[in-house]
Every structure is written in structure tokens, then in C-alpha cells.
Amino acid sequence: MSLLIQLSVAIAFLLLNGVIDGSNPGDSDEVTALPGLSIPLPFKHYSGYLQGVDSNTQLHYWFAESYGNPASDPLILWMNGGPGCSSLDGLLTEHGPFSVNDDLTISLRNTSWNKFANVIYLESPAGVGFSYGPSSNLSDITTAENNYAALKAFFKKFPTFANHDFYITGESYAGVYVPTLATRVANDSTIRLKAIAIGNGILDRTKNLDSLMYYGYYHGLLGGQLWNGLQVACCSGSSCQYANSNNFLCSHRVRSATNLIWGDGLNLYSIYEDCLKVRQTLAIRNHLQDSNQPLYGTPPCFTESILSKYLNSDAVLKALHIAKQAPKWTICNFIVNLNYQRTYPSVIHFLKNLSSKMRVLLYYGDADAVCNFIGGLWSAEAIQAPKIDDYKPWYINTTYGKTVAGFIQRYDNLDFVTVKGAGHLVPTDQPDAAFRLMETFIGGHSL
């Protein structure tokens, strides 16, 4: 093809996809009036569906353009975890542009990530939130496949965003979704994947449970007798195996410890916060009778009633273009959680491979007992990237000056960061710190 013909074809393609005139096929998904919101918005936002690997799987997304310059600001994909939990939790209670008040009005969040980026909130896999499709074959592998297909569908709907710097981010069990999706995207030269970020990720189940024993004892959640019993049954010299012990007594004591931590009315997702729903922890405890593994379902101390009421109202369903086939929205879907096959007990090998190509941020609210930061630190260390600085505090500016926001261990292409006093939902608990952390990371700067 001659250069001229190539150019003509390229221009025709750009025109067809609305790149030049700035329109996108996704424009029909624009949310033109959001119930409860009474002020005009300084940015556009869209809600609709992205197809997975086949037309039966339709994943709901909500996409908020940047307050700044949407045509050039970076593009972030965000996913909550579970498995089974909705990314609209991220949008509406963590770092999205909107928050739902008790009277069902909508406020704008000062620390929204769309202050500096275009942000896609994707509900995944099928069955989660407003997403629908077959739930018989849910696994880490099919989720990554469907997320990748949905992402490609996003870029078809919004081709003007295809050349933006792109970031894949998420929280909790998205500790699996993010690196598995990023691994596929990294091989796709049409997408400019720059980096990934994971908040309170479950990166290695063994390290998560092993570290929980230390986290529990040194945060006062386990007493000395049980702790000493664990040492006797699970340790040999200074080496301890709690999660994968073959010793019956060790497994029994690990179960006692997880029962005590998970079953006592503590808010495990933010241990210094009160638990609003003590009874819900009983469901967790009952589950623990059958398994050593905690149930990463609905956070036991979290109340979703306002979100549920808002999102399931007819006016909101209509405004967000929710399909008739969509399930009633719940913050976490237990059926998805129970059906889901956890293919990868560890994603450290994915993270190691990714960090050889791009920047990786692992951040942890240090008051979370569900995906505790010690397990995260051990996972970061297991990547064996070269350290490029000492462990040290990082700061934010407050009304009375600079204050410690957490600690950071910087490795080559890999940052491990704690956020002081935050639980599982870092931006909810420490909005200013989370905002600075993400804005700095996306901007390619150092904390």
C-alpha cells in the first residue's frame, strides 16, 4: 500500500470510529441525568454493557470521563473483588465521582480519581452487580478472558480513548483479576498499558493466612495461650507453616484463631472501626466450620442498604441503561462467590513477569485483617525485584502541616505502600492519602 492509500484508509477508519470528530459509538450510553443529582456536571459519564467472550455474557460498566482534559488524560480500569463484589462500590463509596447520601441524593466526591483520569468501573464476572450471563463456568481464567473481551469492546465503543495511557487497577480479589487481565493486555500492542495498581490484594492465599496469625496476635486479636499453642504445633525453630500444615493440631489451632478473628463481631475489614452488623459475622463463622478459608463475600460490617435502594430504583435503572436481564443489584453476590473456581492460589509469578515490563503498585490499608499488609509485603518481597530505597514513611499535607500517611518500600518497577489507619477500602477510610497515592502513581512521580 502506498503511503497515500495507507493514510486514506487510516483517516477513513478514524472517521468511522469517530476519532476525528470526537464522537464515539459509546456516546449512546451517556448518562444524561442521574437521579438525585441536582447540579450540572463538569464531565461526561456513560453506563452500559460490554460484551464478554460471547454475546451471552454482558458486563456492566460505568465510565466517568476526567474533570481535566478527557481527550488526553490517562485511562484507568477499576475492578472490585469478592469474587462476586460490585465495582460500583468503588465508584459510589471509594473513589468514584459520586456518593449516595442517606436521602438518596447524590454528592460529588472531592477525592474522585476522575479529577485526573478517565475511569472505567467494570462489574465482573457475569452475575456481579448489573452484569449478567452464564454463571456455570466462573474462574480466574474465564474472568480474565471475559474482562479482556469487555475491554476490547470498550475500545470499540470509545475508540478515541484507545491511544491513552492505560492503567488496570482493583482491590481485594481483584488482586487476581488485575494481573491476569494485565498479562493478556500486555501482549496487545493496540493498548497502551502503562502500569497496574492493586489495593489490599489477595496475592497469595498461603501468605495471606500465614501472615494473618502474626497480624492477629500483634494487633491483640489473639491471646498468648492460643499464640503459644500455634507456635508449638505449627513451627519448627523460627520457621512456621500455618496455612499448609500437615499437623492436625496446627490446623485445629489455625481454625480456632481464624474463628476468633472472624467470629467475634470485629470489623475485620477495618479493625479499629466499629462493626455495624455484628450478626453478619456469624454467617462467616458458620462458613468457617467447613473450611479454613474465610469467605471473601459481603463485608460483614458493611451496610449496603442505601446503595441497593438507590441502584435498584426504576429511575436509576433507566438512567444507567440497565438491561432487563440484569439481576437485582447487590454489593456482593454470594452465589458467584461460591461458584467461582479460584484457579490461581498465588499471582506472584504474574506480578514478577509484569514488573519486568511495567510499574506495579501494591498498596494496603494497614488496618485490614482480611487481606493484611504483612501478606502483601511478603508477596512483594517474593517478586525479588531489586530494592532501590529503604523502607520509609510517606506524607500528605493536612491543614496543620505534613503528616505521615503510611510507609513505602520501593523496588525496581514495584512499590509496596501502606496507608496508615485505612482498612480494606483504602479510599473510603483515607480519601486524601488514597488520592495522593493514585494521582502520584498515575503521574509517574514518587511519593
Place of cell 525453630: 237
Which residues fall within 8 angstroms of residue 109, CB to CB, at 6 or more apart?
95, 96, 97, 98, 99, 431
Among the listed residues 87, 172, 211, 245, the single catalytic one is 172
Shortest Cβ 360–a copy of itself spacing (Å) = 17
Give the x-and-dash track for 276-295 against a copy of itself (CB under 8 A).
x-x-----------------
71, 272, 286, 343: residue in contact with a copy of itself (rule CB under 8 A): 272
Q: Does 447 bind a copy of itself (CB under 8 A)?
A: no
Return the sign of the alpha-carbon dihedral for residues 190, 194, 197, 202.
Answer: positive
- Tell me which of 168, 196, 275, 347 binds a copy of itself, using CB under 8 A: 275
CA–CA–CA angle 239, 244, 245 (5° rounding): 65
Triad 323, 62, 270: Cα angle to 5°: 115
Binding to a copy of itself in span 215-244, by CB under 8 A = 215, 218-226, 231, 235, 237-238
Cβ-based nearer residue to a copy of itself, 279 or 324 = 279
Q: Hey, which residues does 401 pair with through a beta bridge?
A: 398
At its nearest, how many Å lie between a copy of itself and the CB of residue 275?
A: 6
Q: Supply φ then ψ for residue 190, to 5 degrees.
A: -80, -10
CB 143 within 8 A of CB 180: yes
Cα separation, 335 vs 172, in Å, equals 18
Choice from 274, 323, 325, 343 touching a copy of itself (CB under 8 A) = 274
368 classed as catalytic = yes
Please count the residues of this chain forming the interface with a copy of itself, following the rule CB under 8 A: 51
Closer residue to a copy of itself (CB): 227 or 334: 227
- Cβ distance to a copy of itself smaller for residue 124 or 281: 281
Of the candidates 197, 134, 161, which has an alpha carbon nearest to the alpha carbon of residue 441? Answer: 197
Q: What are the helix (H) ranges across 127-173?
A: 140-157
Considering only residues 386 to 415 of the shown chain, the ones binding a copy of itself according to CB under 8 A are 387, 390-393, 395, 398, 400-404, 406-407, 409
187 vs 399 by CB, closer to a copy of itself: 399
- The nearer residue to a copy of itself, 301 or 316, going by C-beta atoms, is 301
Site string for a copy of itself, 344-383 (x = CB under 8 A): ----------------------xx-----xx--xx--x--
Task: Return the closest-CA partner of residue 374 out of 242, 185, 232.
Answer: 242
Give the dihedral sign, CA 364/370/375/380: negative
3-class SS of residue 207: helix
| 272 CB neighbour count, 10 Å cutoff | 11
Choice between 357 and 387, CB closer to a copy of itself: 387
Distance CA 264, CA 275 (A): 10
Give the span between the Cα atoms of 239 and 54, in whole angstroms: 48
Residue 234: its H or E element: helix 224-234
Distance between alpha carbon 407 and the CA centroid of its chain, in Å? 20
- Quote the cell numbers at residue 345: 492460589
Q: Which of 15-23, 160-168, 260-268, 284-292 is the region at the interface with a copy of itself (rule: CB under 8 A)?
A: 260-268
424 is catalytic: yes
User: At its nearest, how many Å lie between a copy of itself and the CB of residue 170?
Assistant: 21
Which of 171/366 has CB closer to a copy of itself? 366
Query: Of the candidates 117, 266, 284, 383, which one interacts with a copy of itself according to CB under 8 A?
Result: 266
Angle at 345 between CA 269 and CA 438, to 5 degrees: 50
Per CB under 8 A, which of residues 68..87 are in contact with a copy of itself? none
Comparing CB distances to a copy of itself, the nearer of 76 and 266 is: 266
Angle at 205 between CA 200 and CA 211, to 5 degrees: 75
164 is catalytic: no
Minimal distance, residue 266 CB to a copy of itself, in Å: 5
- Least separation in angstroms between residue 407's CB and a copy of itself is 5
CB of 84 to a copy of itself, least distance (A): 26
Q: Give the Å distances, CA to CA, from 288 to 201, 257, 264, 296.
A: 21, 11, 13, 12
Catalytic residue, candidates 29, 73, 210, 368: 368
Sole residue written with cell 488485575 = 178
State the residues that interact with a copy of itself by CB under 8 A.
214-215, 218-226, 231, 235, 237-238, 260, 264-267, 271-272, 274-276, 278, 366-367, 373-374, 377-378, 381, 387, 390-393, 395, 398, 400-404, 406-407, 409, 418, 420-421
Looking at the annotation, which residues are catalytic?
172, 368, 424
